[in-house]
Amino acid sequence: MAKKLRKKRGLLVVVSGPSGVGKSTVVRRLLKLDKNLTLSISATTRPPRPGETHGEHYYFITQAEFDKKVKKNDFLEWAKVHGFYYGTPLSELKDQLSQGKKVVCEVDVQGAASIKQAVEQGKINAAAVFIFLIPPSVDILAFRLKKRRTEDQEVVNYRLRAAIAELQVMEKYDYIVVNDKVESAAEKIKAIINVEKERTLLN
Ligand code: ADP
Ligand code: 5GP
């Protein structure tokens, strides 16, 4: 068999953006469009919403379990987001990347900044691309936050103010994708991944 000229190397795809912009909706669609993608499943202290299951949407863990994992350096990054803790499990991610997989991490803006730092410090041996999802307008973002109906009005208002502040960091990312239609936003991210795969000389 001919020897491969290019070494298989993983690609870390970080999808971030303000709360309610549609990250989880778009990422779910993206995973359906591209079966070669793997989702990094985060751990959280947030209780599950209706329809969410342990090990599929998140690892739902207690505060004590979360604190233990922080102490053991089990997370690539972790952050407190709107009152709950979220973290990206490190060993799972390293395993997947070392197998040359394309792994999608859906994190808030603090998480994306921490991951960027970790990649620059060589903590992760993979290429990484940072994608920022933005709403078509602030009004549409407010509408989507309300539509989700998982939080009360006070929480929605608080999240909206935070989201507007979070939009200020978008120029630190490699790509900005407008989430107009779920399908087209997912297609755009798929196209970015395909280009990045070539640019970084992955398999
Ligand atoms: P995030 O993960 O960024 O907090 P969600 O994926 O939970 O956001 O989306 C917030 C709400 O907006 C949900 O009700 C979702 O169905 C809706 N939504 C997401 N993307 C779109 C879109 N492109 N068009 C219309 N509604 C959308
Ligand atoms: P939700 O509770 O709506 O699922 O998520 C709230 C926020 O936490 C979203 O912005 C989501 O992207 C972010 N988030 C989910 N998992 C992680 C993670 O592992 N790390 C960080 N920093 N943020 C996360």
CA distances from 47 to 50, 158, 169, 179 (A): 10, 19, 29, 27
Q: 52 C-alpha to center of ligand 2: Å?
A: 14
Ranking 4-13, 21-30, 56-65, 153-162 by mean pLDDT, the lowest is: 4-13
Helix (H) or strand (E) holding 43: strand 43-44
Q: For 131-177, what is each residue's pLDDT tens digit?
A: 999 999 988 988 888 876 666 788 888 888 888 888 888 889 999 99
Q: How far is the CA of 100 from the centre of ligand 2 (A)?
A: 25
| pLDDT tens per residue across span 54-106 | 999 999 999 999 999 999 999 999 999 989 999 999 999 999 999 999 999 99
Task: Give 29: exposed, middle or buried? Use CB within 10 Å, 0-12, 13-18, 19+.
Answer: buried
| Cα(68)–Cα(65) distance, integer angstroms | 5
> Between these two residues, 49 and 4, which has the higher pLDDT value?
49
Distance from residue 48's CA to the centre of ligand 1 (Å):
17
Pocket test for ligand 1, best of 148, 155, 156, 188 (most atoms within 8 A of CB): 148
Domains in the chain, please, with CATH? 11-202 (3.40.50.300)
Ligand 1, closest atom to CA 179?
23
Percent of the chain surpassing pLDDT 70: 92
Q: Is the pTM of this model over 0.85?
A: yes
> Residue range 98-118: average pLDDT?
95
Distance 107 CA to ligand 2 centre (A): 5
Q: Residue 202's pLDDT is what?
A: 46
Q: What's the mean pLDDT in 110-136?
A: 93
| Ligand 1 neighbours by CB, cut-off 6 Å | 19-25, 144, 147-148, 179, 181-182
